[in-house]
Amino acid sequence: MKIVITGGAGFIGSHLTDRLLSEGHHVCVLDNLVTGNYENIEHQKGHPKFEFIHHNVSNHIHLPGEIDWVIHFASPASPIDYLQLSIETLKVNSLGTHNTLGVARAKNAKYFLASTSEVYGDPLVHPQPETYWGNVNPIGPRGVYDESKRFAEALTMAYHHKHGLDSRIVRIFNCYGPRLRFNDGRVVSNFIGQALTNKPLTIYGDGNQTRSFQYVDDLVDGIRRLMDCDHHEPMNIGNPHEFTVGELAKLVIEMTGSKSEIVYKSLPVDDPKRRLPDIGKAKSLLSWSPKVDLKSGLEKTIAWYKQQLAGTTLNSVG
Ligand code: UDP
């Protein structure tokens, strides 16, 4: 198949690119590298079925030839990124979604949208099933991401209903693994980076807020299964094992053997108190459930960060 992946140089997009190339597909990555990193896909350079196009998909997209899939993963996705790139985030999830849907329609291709557990906002229902409509502050700092992803879902469903587009929507819950940037600002990358450089681990709030962390290989497997499933409504992919942020900090300190202390900082505005996926739908329709527990996933991730640190100056990690 000929597959176009926007955001294919990002953390998740690059792992998906690797997986699809390993299956023998032709993969064309579109990325403007605003939060993505060419190093994530550089190892594929020269692969006869790999192509990279430096492009901002919020602008018109022109791609010659036939395409079987358009997979839209381009968007800043970390709170610090989408706060700084607020308008770019709104644009890539609205204009970028519209442009990529247009390409899929023109090429008679299938379409895959990366959505997020953030569409549930600060949820009042636990765990969160796909049928939950969420609790989102549209004008809060996270609104630029949450609302634009909600719009992207609405637009994708409209193309499905109006134009018969063969579409998929995945709602991705917190994901970690190799290639999550050191300065990405997310909790797993922050804690590992801080622990490995013996800097204090920064817990925002009291550390009792929860997340359920999935290892990137599990997510890519879920995405791959969803591509092959004729299901058009959103599907949660996440790990239902819930941890507090405080527990994660202790685990990272223990696993790295770090001398770091823990410091407490103020909780960002609208930071969700609890997040936990209901994965009943993925289990029954995709026969999917996560395989990698937090400790095993962290081991692989810590090993990767150590490797990265070996090639960089310790002080550049914050
Ligand atoms: N967090 C933290 N310390 C950090 C970074 C994040 O305590 O250095 C908290 C953050 O406030 C949130 C949780 O960890 O409650 C997960 O944050 P992340 O940015 O990874 O993802 P989110 O699920 O909030 O999008």
Q: What is the radius of gyration, based on Cα positions, of the chain? A: 19
pLDDT value of position 311: 84
Q: Which atom of ligand 1 is nearest to the CA of 79?
A: 19
Q: Is the CB of 148 under 6 A from ligand 1?
A: no
Q: Which domain holds residue 116?
A: 2-176+214-240+274-291
210-211 and 243-244: which strand pairing? antiparallel
Q: Is the CB of 121 under 6 A from ligand 1?
A: no
pLDDT value of position 28: 98
Residues with catalytic annotation? 145
Measured in Å, residue 79 CA sits from the centre of ligand 1 at 8
Element (H, E) at 114: strand 110-116
Does residue 127 have a cis peptide bond before it, meaning omega lies within 30 degrees of 0? yes
Residue 188 belongs to some domain of the structure:
no
Q: Is the CB of 187 under 6 A from ligand 1?
A: yes
Residue 203 belongs to some domain of the structure:
no
Which has the closest alpha carbon to 69: 124, 129, 120, 113? 113
CA–centroid distance for 232 within its chain: 19
| CA–CA separation, 50 and 28 (whole Å) | 6
Q: Is the CB of 190 under 6 A from ligand 1?
A: yes
Residue 184 belongs to some domain of the structure:
no
pLDDT value of position 315: 46
Ranges of residues in the chain with a pLDDT under 70 are 313-318
Letter for the amino acid at 101? L
As for how many domains the chain has, the answer is 1
Residue 136 belongs to some domain of the structure:
yes
Check: CB of residue 196 under 8 Å from CB of residue 302. yes
| CA–CA separation, 74 and 227 (whole Å) | 17
The CATH number of residue 23's host domain is 3.40.50.720
Q: How many CB atoms neighbour CB 253 within 10 A?
A: 18
Residue 287 belongs to some domain of the structure:
yes
pLDDT value of position 312: 72
pTM above 0.85, yes or no: yes
For residue 180, the number of C-alpha atoms closer than 13 Å in the C-beta half-sphere is: 26
Q: Is the CB of 253 under 6 A from ligand 1?
A: no
pLDDT value of position 121: 96
Residue 109 belongs to some domain of the structure:
yes
Q: Which atom of ligand 1 is nearest to the CA of 188?
A: 20
| CA–CA separation, 173 and 115 (whole Å) | 9
Residue identifier of the C-alpha nearest atom 24 of ligand 1: 271
Measured in Å, residue 190 CA sits from the centre of ligand 1 at 9
Q: From residue 89, how far is each of 69, 79, 148, 160 by CA, in Å?
A: 23, 11, 8, 23
Q: Is the CB of 192 under 6 A from ligand 1?
A: no
Sign of the torsion angle spanned by Cα atoms 24, 300, 184, 217: positive
Sign of the torsion angle spanned by Cα atoms 68, 223, 137, 263: negative
Residue 181 belongs to some domain of the structure:
no
Q: Which atom of ligand 1 is nearest to the CA of 207?
A: 7
Q: Is the CB of 308 under 6 A from ligand 1?
A: no
Letter for the amino acid at 162? K
Helical ranges in the chain per DSSP H: 11-22, 79-84, 86-107, 143-163, 187-196, 216-227, 245-256, 280-286, 294-310
Measured in Å, residue 186 CA sits from the centre of ligand 1 at 5
SS3 224: helix
Structure-token match 């998929």, residue found? 168
Q: Which atom of ligand 1 is nearest to the CA of 209?
A: 15
Residue identifier of the C-alpha nearest atom 4 of ligand 1: 187
Q: Which two tokens stand for residue 272?
A: 């969700």
Residue 250 belongs to some domain of the structure:
no
| CA–CA separation, 17 and 12 (whole Å) | 9
